[in-house]
Amino acid sequence: MTEVERHNYDVVVIGAGGAGLRAVIEARQRGLSVAVVCKSLFGKAHTVMAEGGCAASMGNANSHDNWQVHFRDTMRGGKFLNNWRMAELHAKEAPDRVWELETYGALFDRTPDGRISQRNFGGHTYPRLAHVGDRTGLELIRTMQQKIVSLQQEDYRRYGDYEAKLRVFAECTVTELIKEDGHIAGAFGYWRESGRFVLFETPAVVLATGGIGKSFKVTSNSWEYTGDGHALALRAGAGLINMEFVQFHPTGMVWPPSVKGILVTEGVRGDGGVLKNAEGERFMFRYIPDVFKGQYADSEEEADRWYSDQEGNRRTPDLLPRDEVARAINTEVKEGRGSEHGGMFLDIASRLPTEEIRKRLPSMYHQFRELADVDITAEPMEVGPTCHYVMGGIEVDPDTAAATVPGIFAAGECSGGMHGSNRLGGNSLSDLLVFGRRAGLGAAEYVESLGARPSVPDAEVTAAAKRALAPFDGPEDGTSAENPYTLHTELQQTMNELVGIIRKADEIEKAIDKLAEIRSRIRGVTVEGNRQYNPGWHLAVDLRNMLLVSECVARAALRRTESRGGHTRDDYPQLDAQWRNRLLVCQTTGDEPVPEVDVEAREQQPMRADLLELFELSELEKYYTEDELAGHPERTA
């Protein structure tokens, strides 16, 4: 039998970003024993990098804001494909979740009357993002990390052991979920440090593993974003939805090459920065799409007035939802109006005094000065699109965050539905808090309702260990040895070039062929060295997940013959109302580490009437089919 360290918990949370930590807090406060597992050190998850802020309609900066406005903005941003129940819960609960952080010790920037300050962001009608300069994610993660420490301190006082009921397993990677009779029974993984195996026996796992950006070459995401949660869920039998929707953030760094893709926060535009092409033109005015006509300023003068007077003016098109801005930049560059390094200019220097820039955007100032020798208080930044966020993810029940497999819960970026076809900036951090909490609760209730707990079959453990160690065995018969770094580069290149920001049927098909080739070569992946902290081996294991989610993205992208949000088809450039309510669900069959992906179309539940009535009929007509609107009160009246 394989040597494995065993642990037993009520709930195991996989991922220590915002979603995971909030789930841990909730489940522990319900009295359960909880483990949290993460690939990096504690406190280093992706959430730490979030800059701009966390959206919640507290109404501190503009008292007209409320959950209904936030809900409407979110649905518009996602082009009405969002799971409306998730968008509703999110808009309603976000303020409470932010205020709660203050009771854990968070220190957000303040308004003059001492409340939490809120800033403008793309697609949000009012200033809505709670923030701390441009390091909001750091504040969120540190606050929750410290809350977890405080729960451990309570346990210490009670049981004499900090880890009596809540333990962090840092630098530990989960590679398999184990089931018994269709129910989750455990999770299997390895310690990165020693390479030794660990088994968590648990009836409930919360997946909070974040995104998939490492499948793309130009990305704002770190090495952790290999789609592990997506792949774990698929292989355990759960479905992924909306995988064709990948967000390319319009403003990543483009120069020098080594920093290409690193994010430039939307807060730059929220605070007054504007986009210009190489001719010095503020080109965004030419790119207001029909569905947003009338909601955005059509002259520079009006746009500039809007920053100080939001009642009398419409917002600047620099702050259109991200998909629109990213496409606009792409077009400008293609048509020859790009900067020297193939980007656009983002100018804050001529818009705000030096002092103000350094105060509001300290980490952008630092980042450009240190990494690009650019002083953003004196010169414009060069920016271009970068793969940033995946809207697609594990299909969950909106209220409980339960996936379709009993015992799996999911929250945060690895779950799907909330953001529809495109996420608004700032809506992720709030999503983490709202649904992280709900997942913790959902898991707790599930565990409490269970009679007997499923047990982990030994054979599964042996098989899991064998799969994890395969890269040390050398190439399988009939394959030749492959270097994981080389295969990874080829995968990234393929996705970036063929299933990137603008897509076409023949290119996607080419990508699918290339992925098939990588699939056959992946069995030959061979690593050197031993199991102790071996990044080559870690990559070899993660690579399977990247390939699996890439297949989901490519296959779903081929199926959706329209353009919407984070999915743009050159050969089907229009929004198609027939597609609006249709979800593409990815599932897999077989027990392989990289099983075959199957895509199926399915209708979503129509929006509840009271929510639908929050929109003007004239707006809905831009998105909905005639049949769908037949029952609308404005029609029937």
Partner 1 sequence: MAYQAKLRVWRGDATAGELQDFEVEANEGEVVLDLIHRLQATQAPDLAVRWNCKAGKCGSCSAEVNGKPKLLCMTRMSTFAEDEVISVTPMRTFPVIRDLVTDVSYNYTKAREIPAFTPPEGLEPGEYRMQQVDVERSQEFRKCIECFLCQDTCHVIRDHEENKESFAGPRFLMRVAELEMHPLDAGDRVEAAQSAHGLGYCNITKCCTEVCPEGIQITDNALIPMKERVADRRYDPIVWLGNKIFKRNGA
Q: Looking at residues 473 to 532 of the shown chain, list those that interact with partner 1 (rule: CB under 8 A).
A: 483-486, 489, 527-530, 532
Query: At 161, which amino acid appears?
Result: D
State the binding partner of 110 from ligand FAD, partner 1, none, CB within 5 to 8 A by kind: partner 1
State the binding partner of 328 from ligand FAD, partner 1, none, CB within 5 to 8 A by kind: none
Does residue 102 interact with partner 1 by CB under 8 A? yes
Angle between helices 427-449 and 18-29 (to 10 degrees): 40
CA dihedral over 56, 58, 60, 61, signed as positive or negative:
positive
Helix (H, G, I), strand (E, B) or coil at 57: coil
**Which residues within the stretch 401-430 sit at the binding site for partner 1 (CB under 8 A)?**
none
Alpha carbon distance 476, 147 (integer Å): 48
Q: Which candidate in 322, 423, 503, 555 is catalytic?
A: 322
Does residue 197 interact with ligand FAD by CB under 6 A? no
* Residue whose structure tokens are 């490519």: 554
Instruction: Answer whether 78's CB lies under 8 Å from 421's CB.
Output: yes
> What one-character DSSP code corresponds to residue 315?
B
The distance of closest approach from Cβ of residue 145 to ligand FAD in the complex, given in angstroms and rounded to an integer, is 11
Does residue 633 interact with partner 1 by CB under 8 A? no
Angle between helices 535-559 and 228-235 (to 10 degrees): 70
Stretch that binds ligand FAD, among 273-281, 423-431, 460-468, 593-601 (CB under 6 A): 423-431
Contact with ligand FAD (CB under 6 A) among 33, 40, 82, 422? 40
Angle between helices 136-159 and 84-103 (to 10 degrees): 70
Does residue 400 interact with partner 1 by CB under 8 A? no
Alpha carbon distance 74, 72 (integer Å): 5
Burial class (CB in 10 A: 0-12, 13-18, 19+), 502: middle
Q: Is 322 a catalytic residue?
A: yes
**Which residues within the stretch 361-380 sit at the binding site for partner 1 (CB under 8 A)?**
363, 366-367, 370-372
Contact with ligand FAD (CB under 6 A) among 94, 144, 148, 263? 263
**Which residues within the stretch 25-64 sit at the binding site for partner 1 (CB under 8 A)?**
40-44, 46, 48-49, 58
Alpha carbon distance 133, 50 (integer Å): 11
Contact with ligand FAD (CB under 6 A) among 7, 39, 453, 580? 39
- CA torsion angle 154 158 163 164 (round to 10): -140
Does residue 272 interact with ligand FAD by CB under 6 A? no
The distance of closest approach from Cβ of residue 15 to partner 1 in the complex, given in angstroms and rounded to an integer, is 14
Q: Rounded to a whole number, what is the distance in angstroms from the first to the last CA of the chain?
A: 71
Stretch that binds partner 1, among 94-102, 268-276, 304-312, 577-585 (CB under 8 A): 94-102
Contact with ligand FAD (CB under 6 A) among 60, 125, 136, 202? 136
**Which residues within the stretch 154-173 sit at the binding site for ligand FAD (CB under 6 A)?**
173
Helix (H) or strand (E) holding 45, with range, is none
- Phi and psi at 251, nearest 5°, equal -120, 90
Which CB, 412 or 565, lies closer to ligand FAD?
Answer: 412
Instruction: Answer whether 537's CB lies under 8 Å from 196's CB.
Output: no
Residues at the interface with ligand FAD (CB under 6 A)? 14-20, 37-40, 45-47, 49-54, 136-137, 173-174, 189, 208-210, 220-221, 224, 228, 263, 389, 412-414, 425-429, 432
What residues are labeled active site?
322
